[in-house]
Amino acid sequence: MTLALALAAAAAAQTAGRITGTIKDPDGKPIKGATVRASNEAVNARMTSTTDDKGRFAMIGVRSGRWVIVAEAPSFVPLQGSTDVTSSNTPVLALTLQRDPGPMPGALVKTIAEDVAAAEALHKAGKLDEAISAYQSIESKNTRLTTVNLVLASLYREKAEQEKNPAAKQALLNRAADADNEFKKSESK
Domain ranges of the chain: 13-96, 112-184
In sequence order, the 6+-apart residues with CB closer than 8 A to the CB of 138 are: 112, 115, 116, 119, 145, 148
> pLDDT band at 107, cuts 50/70/90?
low
Give the pLDDT score at 6.
Answer: 35
Q: Percent of the chain beyond pLDDT 90?
A: 62
Identify the CATH class of 112-184.
mainly alpha
Give the pLDDT score at 158.
Answer: 94
Q: How far apart are CA 164 and CA 53, in angstroms?
A: 68
Give the pLDDT score at 15.
Answer: 55
Does residue 46 contact residue 39 with C-beta atoms inside 8 Å?
yes
Each residue's pLDDT tens digit, 115-174: 899 999 999 999 999 999 999 998 888 777 888 889 999 999 999 999 999 999 999 999
Q: What is the pTM of this model?
A: 0.52
> pLDDT band at 108, cuts 50/70/90?
low
Does residue 38 contact residue 80 with C-beta atoms inside 8 Å?
no
Our CA angle for 15, 21, 22, nearest 5°, is 155
**pLDDT over 60 (residue 10):** no
Given 2.60.40.10, 1.10.3720.10, 3.30.70.260, 3.10.20.30, which CATH number is that of 13-96? 2.60.40.10
Q: Percent of the chain beyond pLDDT 70?
A: 87
Q: Tell me the DSSP string of 171-185.
A: HHHHHHHHHHHHHHH
- How would you class 146 by CB atoms within 10 Å of its CB: exposed for 0-12, middle for 13-18, buried for 19 or more? middle
Give the pLDDT score at 34.
Answer: 96
**pLDDT over 70 (residue 109):** no
